Amino acid sequence: MAGAAKRSTEGSSESAATEASPKISGGNLVAKALKNEGVEAIFTLCGGHIIDIYDGCLNEGIKIVDVRHEQVAAHAADGYWRVTGKTGCAVVTAGPGTTDAMTGVANAFRAESAMLLIGGQGPLSQHRMGSLQDLPHVDMMQPITKFAATVSSTERIADMVSMAFRECYNGAPGPSFLEIPRDVLDARIDPARARVPAAHHYRASTKSAGDPRDVERLADLLVKSARPCVLLGTQVWSCRAGAAAIEFCRQLNIPAYMNGAARGTFAPGDPHHFHQTRGYAFEKADTIVIIGTPFDFRMGYGRRLRADATVVQIDLDYRTVGKNRDISLGIVGDAGAILSAATQAASGRVDNGARRRDGWLSELREQENKSAEAMRSRLLSDASPIHPLRLAHEINQFLTENTIFIGDGGDVVTFSGGVIQPKSPGHWMDPGPLGTLGVGTPFAMAAKLARPEKEVVCLFGDGAFGLTGWDFETCVRYGLPFIGVVGNNSHMNQIRYGQTAKYGKARGEVANYLGDVHFEQFARMLGGHGEEVREAKDIGPALRRARESGKCALINVWIDPDVYAPGTMNQTMYK
């Protein structure tokens, strides 16, 4: 407080309004709380209700990134958290600004991303009178956030912002929402009347290691197991538990599968990295350890795990453990703390059984090689129009250890999931279980902003790109170059497949045609690099030219609209 009062009398970096008085405005209190949380940038689209927050951000040295659609602001906040581990923040105006951002909040909710959305609101003095852009935001946000509240006094602003941050980390991470009425935000108060929780002093560590007896049981189960496997889920990345997971799998000699943000924990080629044989392993394993991922549709709600397997589930959220499928052992806590403790516990055993499992790993490796072989000819296909698997293969070859890969699309991304392997931990971003199209451009923006030294490559469907693609311009404007590849089949193909399979061609080709859009021209129009590719052999050189351009780039790759990924043909996602 004293600091705020002192700076405002010195005045050099403050706005004229602040210079006149030692008082502090609500927007400046928001910024102080953001700063204490470690927020370095907000993503926003302006509106009269929220402008005082910008004034505060200028004073606190928080970067303001202004985008063209509020959905983008919210996805970028989600992406910022994923890349940095610091809580993301988006600031949007009342009414349509907040409803536009809802999809991004919903995505963060299902993907377990910690972010705060701050929405404007009409003045409290006009509460329920029909003020401009008034909507019941808190009611609307409640089911898709961990915490949603109105700030009803200026004195409480920083306290409520800190509270919202704390709530983001209750159990598995997730989004919080605060609305701040305009008169509450604009009011200027004596700083001594405001509570501003101090950095690092308003929330506890979440790194709990579970009950030590359960950790011993986990070690026992694994030491005795002949055919174990682990699935490393998104929380392995969000807990930054990669090193602990690697140590655990290596010491105990357990094959690892990775999903969501945990992809890349093991580098491709590592003896414990497995990818193609997850279904086979889940069928044959005697012990399956599921870490930081729910039994949702991606695992057939747990039905894809052998019925009589010993199943251990580890999760930050008590409510996730044992949901949809019975388990043998559940442990609630931080993936890294629990895996380190289990490795430690197993190291005390006379024989941890590691060598007895060599045969099991060889069996899985053989299966992996078989499925790679079965896919080989399509990966290298010279077909024209281009086969989506060839596009995925070319991108996979292009990625380096320094490339963050983002997938944003339907069938083209489903195809790529089996082929594209991130080379490092934390270098894979997909929407998560909400399956939200349109995350690509905002994720690329956030990734490049937070980690300018990284290369960012995003594979888009032509449908997905259209949802948020105008913010390619924001990336150009802020100097955040990334390489976008549009797998262009002129359709919403993933849906088209299901429609034509069910209704036949005449009735199935409805509401899924997008036209032949020249995205390379769109990129050029906005000041980026753009190229189109029609032959498979030209994909690699085009990718390299995009890299060399150093600009925001879009490579428009015309792919075959009449081939579909096996997952799409089985309609696996609905089963």
Ligand X SMILES: Cc1ncc(C[n+]2csc(CCOP(=O)(O)OP(=O)(O)O)c2C)c(N)n1
Judged by the rule CB under 6 A, the positions of this chain that interact with ligand X are 409-412, 435-438, 461-464, 487, 489, 491-495
* Residue 18 or 493 with smaller CB distance to ligand X: 493
416 binds Mg ion (CB under 5 A): no
* Residue 361 or 514 with smaller CB distance to Mg ion: 514
Q: Min. distance of Cβ 234 from ligand X in angstroms?
A: 18
* Residue 335 or 459 with smaller CB distance to ligand X: 459
- Dihedral sign from CA coordinates of 86, 91, 94, 100: negative
With tokens 């442990």, the residue in question is 331
Angle at 440 between CA 434 and CA 443, to 5 degrees: 90
Q: What count of residues does the chain have?
A: 575
* Residue 450 or 492 with smaller CB distance to ligand X: 492
Q: Min. distance of Cβ 491 from Mg ion in angstroms?
A: 5
Q: Which does 495 bind (CB under 5 to 8 A by kind): Mg ion, ligand X, none?
A: ligand X
Q: Which does 342 bind (CB under 5 to 8 A by kind): Mg ion, ligand X, none?
A: none
Q: How many CB atoms lie within 10 A of CB 574?
A: 7
Residues 463-502 as x/- pattern, contact with Mg ion by CB under 5 A? x-------------------------x---x---------
One-letter identity of residue 113: S
Report the distance separating Cα 255 and Cα 267, nearest Å. 13
Angle at 290 between CA 286 and CA 291, to 5 degrees: 145
Task: Output the residue with the shortest Cβ distance to ligand X.
Answer: 461
Q: Which does 464 bind (CB under 5 to 8 A by kind): ligand X, Mg ion, none?
A: ligand X
* Residue 295 or 465 with smaller CB distance to Mg ion: 465
* Residue 44 or 493 with smaller CB distance to ligand X: 493
Binding segment toward Mg ion, per CB under 5 A, in 125-133, 200-208, 450-458, 462-470: 462-470
Q: Which does 437 bind (CB under 5 to 8 A by kind): Mg ion, ligand X, none?
A: ligand X
560 binds Mg ion (CB under 5 A): no
At residue 355, the 3 state secondary structure works out as: helix
How many amino acids of this chain bind Mg ion (CB under 5 A)? 5
In a 10 Å sphere around its CB, with 0-12 CB exposed, 13-18 middle and 19+ buried, how is residue 399 labelled? buried
**Structure-token pair, residue 551:** 């600009």
If phi over 0 gives left and psi between -120 and 50 gives alpha, with beta otherwise, what is residue 72? alpha
186 binds Mg ion (CB under 5 A): no
Identify the CA nearest to 406 among candidates 243, 263, 557, 556: 263
Candidates 228, 388, 440, 461: give the one binding Mg ion (CB under 5 A): 461
Q: Which does 471 bind (CB under 5 to 8 A by kind): Mg ion, ligand X, none?
A: none
462 binds Mg ion (CB under 5 A): yes
Report the distance separating Cα 518 and Cα 520, nearest Å. 5
Q: State the distance between the two ends of the chain, measured CA to CA, in whole angstroms.
A: 56
* Residue 435 or 540 with smaller CB distance to ligand X: 435
* Residue 248 or 472 with smaller CB distance to ligand X: 472
Q: How many CB atoms lie within 10 A of CB 541?
A: 12
Q: Min. distance of Cβ 394 from Mg ion in angstroms?
A: 18
Q: Min. distance of Cβ 503 from Mg ion in angstroms?
A: 19
One-letter identity of residue 211: D
Identify the CA nearest to 234 among candidates 255, 203, 265, 206: 265
Bridge partners, residue 557, by sequence = 487, 533
Chain residues in the site for Mg ion (CB under 5 A): 461-463, 489, 493
